[in-house]
Amino acid sequence: MSQTAVCPIPDDRDDRKSAAIARANAHAEPGARVVSRFSFARDVLRAPQMRQAGAGAEHVKLDNPEHVSVFFLDGELHKKRRGQLARYFTPKAIKDRHHVVMRRTTEELIAELRRSGRAQLDLMTMRLACDVAAEIVGLTASDPRAMSERLRKTFTSIGTSKGSWLQPLRAAMRTLTFMALDVMPAVRARRKAPKDDVISYCVAEGFSKKAILIECMTYATAGMLTTREFIVMVAWHLFERDDLRALYLAGDEGTQLAIIEEILRLEPVAAFVHRKAAEPMTGSNGEVVQPGELYGMDIRAANTDEAITGPCPFAIDPYRAERQRMTTSWMSFSDGAHRCPGAQVALHETRIFLDALLRVPGIRMANPPRLDWCAPIQGYEVHGAFVECDRV
């Protein structure tokens, strides 16, 4: 794509759908200094002096790293674990292995949609995200449809901010069910016949059952839950914008990914990421960070910082990244050592699924989704979106 250096969109246009619910619910950790500027947020996230914080990090005991998710590790321990798992997320792995699963599940979901003429979009995308993440993790020894439903219910239990005192008990029971029916069958299968996946790696390294469950839940949350949300969010925008949808369907892979990443810039699923300083650091703007200081990176604000986005920061502009010479997904997948390792996997499954969905004869959104808030991940959830099409 190419476009002039001047944004043609009115400065006051705001295309965000999740802004209101984020404004009402998103917040930094108590005592955190909120960072809204993109450049300083990037400095903090990339600094080796900073440590993972928020999301319960302060309660994680690091005396036994084997029982700690890679999400909470830092320094050499984190670098080593990430390095050992990096091969599952390379461009070659995505093209040669993961595309196969993405296309196969997409074809199955589209075929079911065309037979019935109606489907719930967030359930379709949850199934897709589960199948792709399950292949990477190695959760392939149980029924994928049943596992998708179990994980959906588990995430609902964990993410519900309102409910009775029984809610934590339900979440614990569903996690144990996931362990018994999905994780342990996969572990037994990999002990007999190892494959190139995360569980095989954990088994070979002698991880305990608890440690393997922690890894599976980490990848399940990152690879299934958040991916489902932004696939539906991107679809919502494309269904409502004829011009954007036409550009998407006429575009090549690069054009489609640019549109997806621009929507994700405006609608990042997680609103905040946190870091705490272990040593002093100085940002590129001269700001000094002292040891012990807690910082909350406001992803939504950083992604709309006009100093980096250029004009019309709240509007979807598919040419923005090219014009601003931005080669990453802004701050939506975080940055630095803890940048989401599965970012490219999520982007490609979104592209493949939506390209197929939007080409279905008569496809339309019958009911737009409703937005809810998931407190544990400080992000939005989308539910209840239905699509309809011509039946075959």
Select from 391, 364, 348 the least CA-distant residue to 103.
348
Q: Give the type of residue at 231.
A: I
pLDDT for residue 375:
79
Do the beta carbons of residue 210 and residue 250 sit within 8 Å? no
HSE of 69, CA atoms in CB hemisphere, 13 A: 19
Coil, helix or strand at residue 55: coil
- Kindly state the DSSP code that residue 66 receives in the 8-state scheme: G
The secondary structure element, H or E, covering residue 272 is strand 272-277
pLDDT for residue 296:
95
pLDDT for residue 118:
97
pLDDT for residue 166:
63
As a whole number of angstroms, the distance between CA 178 and CA 181 comes to 5
When computed from its CA atoms, the radius of gyration of the chain, rounded to whole angstroms, is 21
pLDDT for residue 374:
82
- Tens of pLDDT along the chain (392 residues)? 544 445 566 667 899 999 999 999 999 999 999 999 999 999 999 999 998 887 666 656 666 666 667 777 777 877 887 887 888 888 898 999 999 999 999 999 999 999 999 999 999 998 999 899 889 999 988 888 888 778 777 766 555 445 555 667 777 788 888 899 999 999 999 999 999 898 998 898 888 888 888 888 877 767 777 888 999 999 999 999 999 999 999 999 999 999 999 999 999 999 999 999 999 999 998 989 999 999 999 999 999 999 999 999 999 999 999 998 887 779 999 999 888 888 999 999 999 999 999 999 999 999 999 999 887 778 898 989 999 999 98
As a whole number of angstroms, the distance between CA 299 and CA 305 comes to 10
